[in-house]
A and B are shown apart, each in its own frame.
Chain A
Amino acid sequence: MKILQIRSKKGGKSIWVMIGFFLAAQVFFTIQTSSAGATLSHLEEKAENLRDENKRISQELVVSTSLSKLGERSEEMGFSKSGEIVYLDKELNSVGLRK
């Protein structure tokens, strides 16, 4: 009878330990998941900023590859179209001019 009482006391204690453990775990995971929301939000904000930056750089690339603007710029810088084209004659080893 005494032995049974002792066992029952020990069993009761371990149940309380387990309940305590699960409660602590639940609190821990709840805090973790709550902060995960904030992390997610932060990551989304970061992704948005990167997207913005990417868009800005792409935009610069789009504008900088404009052939019209490149032509205007080259004229401003003093480049001009070749006035005459020289065609090489392979067989005669000579050149001809075309205007």
Chain B
Amino acid sequence: MAIRLKLLTFLFLLAFLTVIVRLFYWQVFKGKDLSIEARGQYKDGVVVKAGRGNILASDGTWLAASDEAWLVYVEPDKISENSRRISERLAPFFIEDVADRKQLLEEIDRLVDLIEREGSWVPLKQKVDRSVKESIEAMNISGIGFEKIESRVYPEGSSAAHLLGFVGKDERGENTGYFGLEGYYDIPLSGKPGFLARESDARGIPIFLGDSHEISAISGVDLLTHIDKTVQILIDKKLREGIEKYGAIEGSVIVLEPATGAILGMTAYPAYDPAKYFEWGDEYFKNSIVSSSFEPGSIFKVLVMAAAIDSGVVEPEERCDICDGPVKVDKYTIETWNNEYYPDSTMTDVIVHSDNVGMVYVAQKLGKGKFVDYLEDFGMGRLTNIDLQGESSPEMRKKGDWGIVELATASFGQGIAATPIQMIRAISTIANDGKIVTPQIVDKIQGGSWEEDVKPDIGKQVISKKAAEAVTMMMVEAAKKGEAKWTHQGGFRVAGKTGTAQIPIEGHYDEEKTIASFVGFAPYDEPKFIMLVSLREPSSSPWASETAAPLWYSIARDLFPYYGIHPDD
């Protein structure tokens, strides 16, 4: 009996010890791992995404807005139908043209390949819209699911592509803005994602008394721009028509408010659809207005003339004593563009006739030092600081590197390069009583409950008001009596200047290819807008007076009533 009792006691002790050892094992040795596993079951942690801000036109309507799209995925282990059958049902929703048999069959093969892949989750199609999602959902295919993703919608399509840029993916697969406003303001537009961690039960329902903590997401800001949709759509439409009509390969139009530097519209061609940027090559993304330089040609003459009048070396009515024929500079002979010469031309005549010899006379009187100083003040050779990603500036020759030939050719816009945005900014100085401004696209940055006004950035007085008025009057005469007089809109107070520049290729100028430009502002005494139109390699005529100028007036004729500009008589 005693032995049986002792045995029983021993067995109990052994069982007790086993339990103790087992508990020690689970709680001490495996405790940490189990705790993590348990937390994974009842603790829920999700990243709360911050919505990307909108880009708005000046009237508050959208130029770019956040949209919802869906990623269609398959869970191969959950499908119950044949993979080819599923692919045949899905493929028509994933291609552009259902009637394209080849495209359809290729899509079916692609989907079969994806569905038959090993894995628990395989993405099938990115960024399908709501209607596609609802149509696929209605088919109730087991194993097919959707994940909501953020996308971007550009309601005006490609008409403001270069201005807006687009939202693509970075190397981590996160949304990132590239080019234009999307690129320049990417960080404020993106906002900051938040995080929500809390305990939930097996069904995923939150446990009210459990631990929870939340870091709120900060939504991206909205950008209210100066862009006037009416102007933007108009210039884009007219530019496309102009490119077709004059057979140009590229073109751009910029409309700016001279007093503030506000960009009212900006378009360049070729363009792309920012919502489908992935269908276009990299070469389409470059905004030629801020990233490409060109030799401005005769539109540059007004800057040189403004510098000469401001410094007092010439007067508007002063007569040119070398304008009766070609002028020799070093070993080069400089002629006028049409080989016609006007002896004793006044400075106004020099601008009206776009006289290269007359401009050499002006540059020689100005001298290298002053010439370069004024060009620097006009912003040549440095960035304008426009709020667009991708701005570049061609280098300007250093003061000591200017010779008499460089000075002479630069006086009529040859041998010197600038971007279109640099040119319009410099010439807007003449329209703005001599003060230079920084071109700006964004007017206000709007958060949820706050708003920041982006004030106009008015720079230094580059030339006097008197000099600005004198050059303005020369441009008025040039518009009325110059080569583009045939297209001039009589009665309207327009100051303008044509510019036809040859294109430098491998150390020489191409005889046939030109860049045709026309810059002008109206009304000249109180300008509502200044506009620069540029066409690259127009084939109908190489001359700006027959291409860029009529395109400029074609746009201006619509802008006059829009801005309430009336004719004088």
Binding site for B on A (CB under 8 A): 33-34, 36-38, 40-41, 52, 55-56, 58-59, 62-63, 65-69, 71, 85, 87, 96, 98
Contacts and interface: CB of A to CB of B under 8 A. Distances in A.
B157 A68 contact: yes
Contacts of A69: 155
A67 B229 contact: yes
A41 B202 CA distance: 13
Contact of A33 (B156, B209, B230): B209
Interface of B: 61-62, 65, 67-68, 130, 153, 155-157, 159, 200-201, 204-209, 229-230, 233, 237, 489, 491, 561, 566-567, 569
A58 B209 contact: no
B267 to A, nearest CB: 12
Contact of B206 (A40, A58, A59, A63): A40
A38 B205 contact: yes
B66 to A, nearest CB: 8
Contact of A66 (B155, B206, B208, B567): B155
26 contacts: A33-B208, A36-B208, A37-B205, A37-B208, A40-B205, A40-B206, A41-B204, A41-B205, A41-B206, A52-B68, A55-B68, A56-B68, A58-B65, A59-B130, A62-B65, A62-B155, A65-B155, A66-B156, A67-B229, A67-B230, A68-B155, A68-B157, A68-B159, A87-B566, A98-B489, A98-B491
A96 B208 contact: no
Given A68-B233, A87-B566, A40 B153 contact: no
Nearest to B200: A37
A34 to B, nearest CB: 7
Given A66-B157, A68-B159, 14 more contacts: A34-B208, A36-B208, A37-B208, A56-B68, A62-B62, A62-B65, A63-B153, A66-B156, A67-B230, A67-B233, A71-B233, A96-B567, A98-B489, A98-B567
Nearest to A48: B148
Nearest to B65: A62
Q: Which 10 residue pairs of A and B lie closest in terms of their CB atoms, listed nearest first?
A: A66-B155, A36-B208, A65-B61, A37-B208, A33-B208, A41-B205, A62-B65, A62-B62, A67-B229, A37-B206
Contacts of A96: 567, 569
Contacts, number: 62
A98 B492 CA distance: 11
B561 A85 contact: yes
Contacts of B229: 67
A67 B230 CA distance: 8
A85 B61 CA distance: 28
A58 B229 CA distance: 19
Nearest to A34: B208
Contacts of B204: 41
A68 B561 CA distance: 20
A88 B444 CA distance: 37
Nearest to A63: B155
Given A36-B208, A65-B155, A66-B156, A56 B233 contact: no
Nearest to B204: A41
Contacts of A62: 62, 65, 67, 153, 155
Nearest to A56: B130
A56 B491 CA distance: 50
B262 to A, nearest CB: 19
A40 B68 contact: no
Contact of B207 (A37, A58, A67, A98): A37
Nearest to A33: B208
A40 to B, nearest CB: 5
A11 B206 CA distance: 42
A92 B75 CA distance: 80
A71 B229 CA distance: 12
A67 B154 CA distance: 11
A8 to B, nearest CB: 38
A65 B229 CA distance: 11
A84 to B, nearest CB: 11
Contacts of A68: 155-157, 159, 233
A31 to B, nearest CB: 11
A33 B156 CA distance: 51
Contacts of A33: 208-209
A50 B489 CA distance: 55
A87 to B, nearest CB: 6
A36 B206 CA distance: 9
Contacts of B233: 67-68, 71
Contacts of A38: 205
Nearest to A70: B233
Contacts of A36: 208
A58 B65 CA distance: 9
A59 B567 contact: no
A33 B153 CA distance: 43
A12 to B, nearest CB: 33
A65 B62 contact: yes
Contacts of A59: 65, 67-68, 130, 153
A33 B199 CA distance: 14
A56 B62 CA distance: 15
Nearest to A96: B567
A55 B153 CA distance: 12
B543 to A, nearest CB: 24
A36 B208 CA distance: 6
B230 A87 contact: no
A90 to B, nearest CB: 10
Contacts of B62: 62, 65
Greatest chain B CB density within 10 A among A36, A58, A68, A85 is at A68
B498 to A, nearest CB: 22
A85 to B, nearest CB: 6
A65 B155 CA distance: 8
A36 B65 CA distance: 37
A10 B229 CA distance: 86
Contacts of A85: 561
A40 B209 CA distance: 12
A27 B208 CA distance: 15
